[in-house]
Chain A
């Protein structure tokens, strides 16, 4: 309850900060639409050449794009900005500002996860939801309640996996404050735009087992289009919990490494 109230305060404060730079709203709106148009256009061109790509057609690939947009919108809404405040040159861990975060009588991991909100990402969230719904209405057989439920579970698992990966990358900053680990991750995450199935075997294995970004979007999209069912969903749910626990452990170990910056 107390933590929910805190999240509310963080959202309110972030909104206030955002409103100081109102012009950014239009920039974000433009960016969101351009992003969407380019992505949809790429798919339309692709499926103009072929109807089926390793079992994926236009509407199921659109579902996947919808999931990708939703997941990245949630990432950009709070996980990304909050974690990015720690990492990189001139950022909290590097300049010692992290001292104040550590001094708060609130769970540190909670604080660094929910502190900063980029509310413009709600535009992306909305657009992603629209793409997903559109693609579902395109399919002849609409999903039943169970499919929706499994989809939500898969989506939660996907977001949890994404969070765990980002947190683990962030934790590495404590061993070397100037590193830019998350940039590497961004490049890899782009690959989650498309179904895992279209990649060569080697890439597929990498995106499933090494840095499991493929799983984050592919599984929920498969669930909603009826390509996969409950067992897989529970498998990735279990995997996501495991990754979350591992990343939290790594982060808390990292805090003990923290050297602060001299004054």
Chain B
């Protein structure tokens, strides 16, 4: 049976980085006597991703997300551990493996800047040995999905960031990779383009059953695309599971939105509120509170009892809030 998933066992990476103090003198000194330090970027990681799954790799800056992606694509050699992607070891960089994966980097471009995107696509078609006719039909299909026909003949250097990202996606998907690695694909793009790209990635996943591993700082990317998240912090896997389950990581909380029938200044910490309740914001008649789940009912009762409440909503905290708290608490 063919191995058709991504399996990572005890994968880790330690960087050997030069240490240097600030200042010119220190720079000169390090020229002759560099001092190195071992920095563990990724501590032993284990996870399995099934074929066709869309998984988000999240974590604060410097958590080890990109390092992990680069080990999975064979760009970086792991310090230890095993990676098995559809039967291949990425470090060997076998052509058959490279043909079955693709990587989109939100901050780097694989396009040739001086010529129109269409020409770059044909160079890639040649590199991936895609026959000309097949290449044309694939380009057409992707171009339709992304609605970008009008930019195909302009030099890449004249395109906007969003238009360039569309080109990057076509360039990355031309060879129909089975596994797609997306590193911050929506970085710096406007909401409209972000939405379009998300829609496109979903559609590509449905059409070709591609496995997608994505990193992003935009929660909307993750909520829309991935039902499962891997949360990395300080190079360690803190959470692997459903997006909705992240809330359970921290002490579960509820958010309460209150609209008052009349403007009524509430002092920041009224004594009638339960201990865990906290007023997050207060603006005219609107009050926004955070409270531990177990005290939510008591808090609601206290609010109704003490204030002229016109409307009250109890809801789950937005994902950003949860993740922000996890990042801040650090080692959970």
**Chain A interface (Cβ < 8 Å from any Cβ of B):** 2, 5-6, 9-10, 13, 16-17, 20-21, 95-97, 99-100, 102-106, 256, 258-260, 262-263
Contact = CB atoms under 8 A, between A and B. Distances in A.
Interface stretch (B120-128, B195-203, B218-226, B273-281): B120-128
Query: 9 tightest CB-CB pairs across the interface, nearest first?
Result: A105-B95, A105-B98, A100-B110, A17-B114, A9-B126, A105-B99, A20-B114, A263-B66, A16-B115
B75 A99 contact: yes
B296 interface: no
A10 B66 CA distance: 30
B197 to A, nearest CB: 17
Interface in B47-83: 66, 70, 73-77
B10 interface: no
Contacts of B106: 263
B325 interface: no
B154 interface: no
A14 B37 CA distance: 43
Nearest to A21: B114
A250 B252 CA distance: 55
Interface residues of B, number: 34
Contact of A104 (B76, B98, B115): B98
B105 interface: yes
A221 to B, nearest CB: 38
B95 A106 contact: yes
Nearest to B100: A105
B151 interface: no
A20 B77 CA distance: 39
Interface in B87-135: 93, 95-96, 98-99, 101-103, 105-108, 110, 112, 114-115, 119, 122-123, 126-129
A9 B101 CA distance: 23
Contacts of B74: 102-103
B119 A16 contact: yes
A17 B119 CA distance: 10
Contacts of A100: 103, 108, 110
